[in-house]
Structure 1
């Protein structure tokens, strides 16, 4: 029962991050600024972002619930908080403020934080570590998209 409650809490927090980030981006992906940029040929269609982020946050919420049950430490909560802030702020920096270089720095930092989750806690979570893999893979793709825009515009 405790696991279910923790999953629900992390789902609420993680989907709140997506909601706040979406609000902060101010219609960014559909803005004239973004649509006229030279984008990477491997940029997924718009609908893929919603599907990807929904799947990622469900998996990440389950991962965080298991991790918090196994390792309820300040380190886990701080790392989660840093991940939350970086995830939210990237939308504002990139889409709202059009600061592509700073956006790249933020998304690289976010990728490193998620990699830290993947590597630091793998012994505690063993096979459940795979639940965070989609987040890491997606961030690698998103980082490449941000970098492409920076270097080709």
Structure 2
């Protein structure tokens, strides 16, 4: 598949599916609107575009790393890194929004953050440029983690 359009379609399709799943599991209802939130929280409308950009960067990183991978073992590692990250990405919104447990989501976001860091570290030896495309994702999850914590602290107990 190296050098073909397949990695682009797969990574782009994966990012699109993750974005759709994330949006579908993020109902903004009265429960969420009534939570005490920090003044520095972005407006609700900003989260969709932010995640779209971040997932596009991650998909770009995936394609770049895949095309730069020296062998099948490196491509397998890339798939594992992105697969694990996708699982942790998919777990956060249902915990926070559907289960209405920001405290559980705060525990889970540690694993999401770790999986993003693993992407950065794992892609670095394959393609430094691909790894750099993960930096916005790491920054956003770091910010989201701080926001998650601030919401938990302001709204205990759950």
Same fold? TM cut 0.5: yes
By relative contact order (CA 8 Å, sep 6+), the higher-ranking structure is 1
Measured on the aligned residues, the alpha-carbon RMSD in Å equals 1.7
Deviation at 1:108, TM superposition (A): 1.5
Structure with the bigger percentage of helix: 1
1:47 deviates by: 2.0
Q: 2-side partners of 1:91 and 1:35: how far apart?
A: 15
- Extract unaligned runs of 5+ from structure 2: none
Q: Which residue of 2 aligns with 1:130?
A: 132
Kindly indicate whether the alpha-carbon contact (under 8 Å) linking 1:18 and 1:88 is maintained by their aligned counterparts in 2: no
Q: Give me the whole-angstrom Cα distance separating, in 2, the residues matched to 1:114 and 1:68.
A: 17
**The structure with more radius of gyration:** 2
- Give the C-alpha shift of residue 74 in structure 1: 2.7
| Residues in 2 aligned to 1:129 and 1:13: alpha-carbon distance in whole angstroms | 18
Distance 1:129 1:12, change over 3 A: same
Number of aligned residues: 150
User: Match for 1:142 among 130, 141, 144?
Assistant: 144
Which sits farther off after the overlay, 70-79 or 42-51?
70-79
Q: TM-score, normalised by structure 2?
A: 0.86
* Deviation for aligned residue 1:3: 5.5
Deviation per residue, 1:88-138 (Å, 9 max, x gap): 121111100011121011111111111111123213212332211111101
Q: Where in structure 2 are the equivalents of 1:98-109 lying within 5 Å?
A: 98-109=100-111
